[in-house]
Structure 1
Amino acid sequence: MTASTQVLSALLCDPDAATQMAGPLLRSLDLTGRDPLAWVTDPDMRESIVAGFVDLPDWGTP
């Protein structure tokens, strides 16, 4: 079984996994923007997020 087949199989078996992986996958392929979360206030950190150097999980607002 190839890696892509394993990933597809996992995504089809677990809809929650597909939802969790969609955002990071689209961002890693540069298909969506990397908007910093509202609670990130440090300008240097915000620039690093937009540039793709830092990838924060989508935890929501703390």
Structure 2
Amino acid sequence: MTAPTQVLSALLCDPDAAVQMAGPLLRSLDLTDRDPLAWITDPNLRQSIADGFIDIPDDLLGGRP
């Protein structure tokens, strides 16, 4: 098991930490897509989100995992 995998596993074992950290961690490790939300219409902003330069806080995701 690699060090990043061990750290991620340890963090996600804590239910409180998992809720707050799972989404950002998975996106930062490129384990899930960074799809821009439908309400974001600016093409430059959408590309920056897809490239990982801008991260949308999970409370603005509208319940999306």
- TM-score interval, smaller chain: 0.5 to 0.7
Inter-CA distance 51–17: structure 2 relative to 1 (3 Å threshold): same
Larger-gyration structure (1/2): 1
Alignment match, 2:19? 19
What is aligned with 2:40? 40
Show the 5 A alignment for 1:48-59. Answer: 48-59=48-59
Count of equivalent residues: 54
Please give the alpha-carbon distance, in whole angstroms, between the structure 2 residues aligned to 1:48 and 1:23.
18
Deviates more, 1:47-56 or 1:14-23: 14-23
Deviation, 1:11, is 5.4
Structure 2: where are the runs of 5+ without partners?
1-5
Aligned-partner Cα distance in 2 for 1:39–1:58: 15
The runs of at least 4 consecutive aligned structure 1 residues that moved more than 4 Å come to none
CA distance in 1, matches of 2:39, 2:28: 22
Q: Which amino acid aligns with 2:25?
A: L
Gaps of 5+ in 1: none
Q: 1:32 to 1:16 in 2, by over 3 A?
A: same
